[in-house]
Chain A
Amino acid sequence: MEDELGYLIDYGHKLIKKGEEKSVDWIEVRIENTRYEYIQYLNDRVKEANINRYIGVGIRVGIDKSIGFSSTSSHDINRMEEALEEAIKIARLSNNEITLSTEKASKKRYELRNYRHHPRDISFEEKLDAIRKIYESIFEVSPRKDIAKVKTPDIEISLASVSYGAYYGDIIVLTNEGVDVSSHQILTGIRTTVIVEEAGKRGDGTTYLGTSRGMDKLLEEDNLVKLGVEATQHALEKAGSSFAPAGRQVVIAAPGVSGVFAHESFGHMSEGDFALSKSTPLYDKIGETLGTEYVSIYDSGIPPYEDSFYYPVDSEGVETKTVTLVEKGVFKGFMHSRETAASYGVDSTGNGRAEDYSHPQIVRMRNTYFGPGDWGYEEIIKETKYGILVDDERGGQANLDGTFTFTASRGYIIKNGEIKEPVRDIILTGNILEMLKHVDAATDKVEILTLPFGGCGKDGQSVYIGLGGPYLRIAKLQIGGK
């Protein structure tokens, strides 16, 4: 792997020289050499054991305020030179009046080293052992006090799945402006899914663990057992629960659900490209109060929280900055790539990201989260007369006008300050700009969730992200359902 990287970097420098010979004003070569490991243990057997390798080069050139991009996954320098020619041709065709912000040229290697076990150093057998521990805990540990084992005549586990994923490798960005940065990216995780059928009713439960800090947490037995047991508990709980009452309710969003609001709804509306095209209603709202004092929203490549997605430098070689999108209710600004930053006359915030070498950089989020408040978790529950605590986000959809519909897989009715019966598949709908006006409490601890499964999609590109926040209480939010 290191050898391949060496010759690719060598080719990268040659391409830059070649671009200059062809009189481009500016050239950037982005090289990728990454891996993705995936193992799925499904219904008593190894269903998938996969190793993916992504090696390729993306070339971006600037000629007379016009930009062109082309890429190739070929290892052949001749084909890479063809991609350079293509990028030049596209730049000349586009005549797109694009300039990029001027950023400090840096030469640096970024690598997180605060973990003991890298996935490449852990054998397949050890990974499989960890997966099996989770799998066994799905069945063998009593998930409820009233049954000894899940395998009883009335309860059938119709699906049990444990997936392990690990993404890691190097991204290098070189430019003729002197940028020469490389970053070692790493994201590992486990997802456990259980479907149970009890007395003709189905319930599903999913648990996750994701981190940019290597394999350490994924090898700790306590974590593994918890992932299996809780997945079964959630599935059983859902099988026995009903839908949440529809209508406007007090909602307490767990950190993962808060994160979906921060990322999917508000985050996308705060991306610099949408501001430029005026497709977000926030394009002229900097400085306006959008929410209560409990609303602070950030996007960061290196947030100060455990288990976030480590993203120190973006796909344009710009070091990532923490962007304050909202501070105590006031909208502060947008996230920028070099392109949108130039249009706004500001510095890039390090949000220029590409899915891989074959895609051009666009404005993307990193870790997006609500900041902490000053409430304790117990306090927020105790001070809620009637409401619904929602957890386990299952995604949804948000429009750029602020409307959203998100699903939380599990929830609990809160009555007179106590958590009562569980509810399932809670649909949250509304408009984020309205919702932010009703956030009346936030706990003092922030949790971030990141996973190497799927990612955030935009313009046909999917990137890994983190999202999160504290427990947020929203005084009025529409719950869909029966």
Chain B
Amino acid sequence: MENIIRYALSNGADEAEIFTRYTRVNEARTEGDKLKNDSKIIIETVIRIVVDKSITTAYLTTDSGDVIRDSINDLISLAKNTPPDPYWEGLPYPKKPVKHVNAWSSDLESIDQELLTNLTKKDLEYMKSKDNRVIPVSIKYSLYSTGYKVVNSNGVNIEDRSNGLGYFIDVKAKDGNSESNTFGFKRSKTREIESEKVIDETVNRALELLKGVKLDKVYKGPVLMDPLAVSSTLYFSLARVITGTAVQEGYSPLAKRLGEEISDKRLTIYDDGLLENGWNTRNYDEEGYPQQKTGIIVDGKLVGFIHNTYTARRMGVESTGNARRRESMIRVDITNLTIKPGSKDLDRLMSSYDELILVRNMPMGAHTINYMTGSINMVGTELYYVKKGSIEKVLKPLTITGNIYEALTDIEIGNDVEDTFFNIYTPSIVFTKFTLA
């Protein structure tokens, strides 16, 4: 890779960066009763070339030296015809990691395709034995191993690796004319995925949902969201507007509110790139800058944003190690967003209110939240009416409306922190400013 950098510089680039990643994915899954397996090896090379502050990038699914050199020549030519970016202040410089973290689990090395296949078969039989109203739609195990390297013309030369095991089930239940559909998931850095527990919980929820009844009123009281409901709501709103990009490009409503109290004082949020056993815990981000723990909201006050090198320098601050790549794009994204837990467990939270509605799982349409304004219009599909701490009835789907940024100003936070697949580690939270109808 160092040779490639030299090649780029000697052919007209002012700066050059090569990112390579090798990923192996093994999957075993079911579609109905059918078992499907596949494996893939993905080779990715991303080249960033700068000529006179003009930046161009290429993404290649190869590590072939000839193709990389061809692309470098294309990019240099493209950069020479591209207007300069006035905010560009160079590629990152080498920096030592804050502390050494290990994102590689040797426990997962012994898992192979055969084991995944056998686990999937076993789970399918287990799920089918649970209740004859249950239809297994899909069971999926996914094992990934990835290693990446970043080299640039400023002397950055780092490599890191990680692996993980993911588990997902999609379950349908049918009883007469009543149908329900839900899913469960777990991911782990060890072989202990506890799939039967996930199946038990998901199947029970699918069966409970068959009993849903209509709520014949507009509800404006406390709404308790479980960790997955909270994380899906925050991922498509807050997580998108705390980036340097959102602030600088004009779509973050928080752009001018640094230092202000923007939420309930009980809310503290960090982006923690070094979180122990965090799914995105690494030594370095994807442009080779050390990951770290960054305060976003502390005791209700907005204290910071997350950055890659470009957005940080444009704002006159240090990168927070949040550079993430998606093909040729270098973005700013959360690593592991953590919400500080409160003191109450789920039962105590539920019994703290005369009545409330519990929202579980990911509401439909969470991804359509208008993160620029905070306007929410989504549909809760797993809802429970709770009276004096006890679930009184399961509800049919309801529309959840309101504004997430306003809603964060009056909340109560539980202590049941969970890892969710949105890379947000959150407990359940009670909101009081949503309307359900």
Q: How distant is the Cα of A69 from the Cα of B38 in the complex, in angstroms?
A: 5
Which residues of the partner chain B approach A159 to less than 8 Å between Cβ atoms?
Answer: 249-251
Is there contact, CB below 8 Å, between B41 and A83? Answer: yes
**Known pairs A68-B37, A69-B38, A90-B38; A276 contacts B32 (CB<8 A):** yes
Q: How distant is the Cα of A464 from the Cα of B278 in the complex, in angstroms?
A: 33
Q: How distant is the Cα of A246 from the Cα of B218 in the complex, in angstroms?
A: 12
Q: How distant is the Cα of A403 from the Cα of B381 in the complex, in angstroms?
A: 10
Is there contact, CB below 8 Å, between A403 and B397? Answer: yes
* Stretch of A43-51, A146-154, A180-188, A344-352 on the interface side: A43-51
Contact of A51 among B75, B81, B114, B251 (CB under 8 A): B75
Q: How large is the interface on B (under 10, 10 to 19, 20 to 34, 35 or more residues)?
A: 35 or more
Is there contact, CB below 8 Å, between A358 and B36? Answer: no
Which residues of the partner chain A approach B392 to less than 8 Å between Cβ atoms?
Answer: none
Q: How distant is the Cα of A302 from the Cα of B64 in the complex, in angstroms?
A: 36
Is there contact, CB below 8 Å, between B368 and A52? Answer: no
- Contact residues of A between 35 and 60, Cβ < 8 Å to B: 36, 38, 42-43, 45-56
Which residues of the partner chain B approach A281 to less than 8 Å between Cβ atoms?
Answer: 179
Which residues of the partner chain A approach B375 to less than 8 Å between Cβ atoms?
Answer: 425
Is B316 on the interface with A (CB-CB < 8 A)?
no
Which residues of the partner chain B approach A67 to less than 8 Å between Cβ atoms?
Answer: 36
- Contact flags A254-290 to B (C-beta < 8 A → 1, else 0): 0000000000000000000100111101000000000
Is A378 on the interface with B (CB-CB < 8 A)?
no
- Contact flags B19-49 to A (C-beta < 8 A → 1, else 0): 0000000000001111111111111100000
Residue of B nearest to A41 (CB): B83
Which residues of the partner chain A approach B373 to less than 8 Å between Cβ atoms?
Answer: 202
Is there contact, CB below 8 Å, between A480 and B401? Answer: yes
Is there contact, CB below 8 Å, between A48 and B329? Answer: yes
Contact of A403 among B71, B364, B378, B435 (CB under 8 A): B364
Which residues of the partner chain B approach A53 to less than 8 Å between Cβ atoms?
Answer: 58-62, 67, 71
Chain A min CB distance to B326 (Å): 11
Is there contact, CB below 8 Å, between B251 and A425? Answer: no
Contact of B365 among A52, A74, A124, A396 (CB under 8 A): A396
Chain A min CB distance to B3 (Å): 18
**Residue with the greatest number of chain A CB neighbours at <10 A, chosen from B38, B85, B113, B379:** B38
Is there contact, CB below 8 Å, between A38 and B328? Answer: yes
Which residues of the partner chain A approach B57 to less than 8 Å between Cβ atoms?
Answer: 48-51
Is there contact, CB below 8 Å, between B41 and A73? Answer: yes
Which residues of the partner chain B approach A480 to less than 8 Å between Cβ atoms?
Answer: 377, 379, 399, 401, 437
Q: How distant is the Cα of A52 from the Cα of B84 in the complex, in angstroms?
A: 21
Chain A min CB distance to B210 (Å): 12
Chain B min CB distance to A457 (Å): 11
Residue of B nearest to A246 (CB): B437
Which residues of the partner chain A approach B381 to less than 8 Å between Cβ atoms?
Answer: 399, 403
Chain A min CB distance to B374 (Å): 11
Q: How distant is the Cα of A425 from the Cα of B402 in the complex, in angstroms?
A: 13
Is there contact, CB below 8 Å, between A74 and B62? Answer: yes
Contact of A50 among B113, B138, B328, B397 (CB under 8 A): B328
Q: How distant is the Cα of A461 from the Cα of B67 in the complex, in angstroms?
A: 26
Is there contact, CB below 8 Å, between B62 and A481? Answer: no
Residue of B nearest to A247 (CB): B437
Is there contact, CB below 8 Å, between A397 and B364? Answer: yes
Which residues of the partner chain B approach A83 to less than 8 Å between Cβ atoms?
Answer: 41
Is there contact, CB below 8 Å, between A482 and B401? Answer: yes
Is there contact, CB below 8 Å, between B328 and A45? Answer: no
Is B186 on the interface with A (CB-CB < 8 A)?
no
Is there contact, CB below 8 Å, between B379 and A75? Answer: no
Q: How distant is the Cα of A45 from the Cα of B397 in the complex, in angstroms?
A: 45
Is there contact, CB below 8 Å, between A405 and B379? Answer: yes
Q: How distant is the Cα of A89 from the Cα of B116 in the complex, in angstroms?
A: 13
Q: How distant is the Cα of A161 from the Cα of B205 in the complex, in angstroms?
A: 44
* Between-chain CB contacts (< 8 Å), 29 pairs: A36-B327, A43-B249, A46-B83, A48-B57, A48-B328, A48-B329, A49-B82, A51-B56, A51-B71, A52-B328, A53-B62, A54-B61, A55-B61, A69-B38, A73-B43, A74-B63, A94-B37, A95-B35, A124-B78, A124-B81, A195-B251, A195-B372, A281-B179, A358-B40, A360-B36, A397-B379, A399-B181, A404-B364, A427-B401
What are the 6 tightest A-B residue pairs by CB atom distance, in nearest-first order? A277-B32, A158-B250, A50-B328, A73-B61, A427-B377, A52-B59
Other 18 A-B pairs with CB < 8 A, given A279-B135, A360-B36: A43-B250, A50-B58, A51-B57, A52-B327, A53-B61, A68-B37, A72-B43, A73-B42, A75-B62, A98-B34, A124-B82, A279-B170, A358-B42, A396-B365, A399-B364, A400-B172, A400-B181, A427-B377
Using CB atoms and an 8 Å cutoff, list the residues of chain B in contact with chain A: 31-44, 54-64, 67, 71, 74-75, 78-79, 81-87, 113-114, 117, 135, 137-138, 170, 172, 179-181, 249-251, 327-329, 364-365, 367-368, 370, 372-373, 375, 377-379, 381, 397, 399, 401, 435, 437
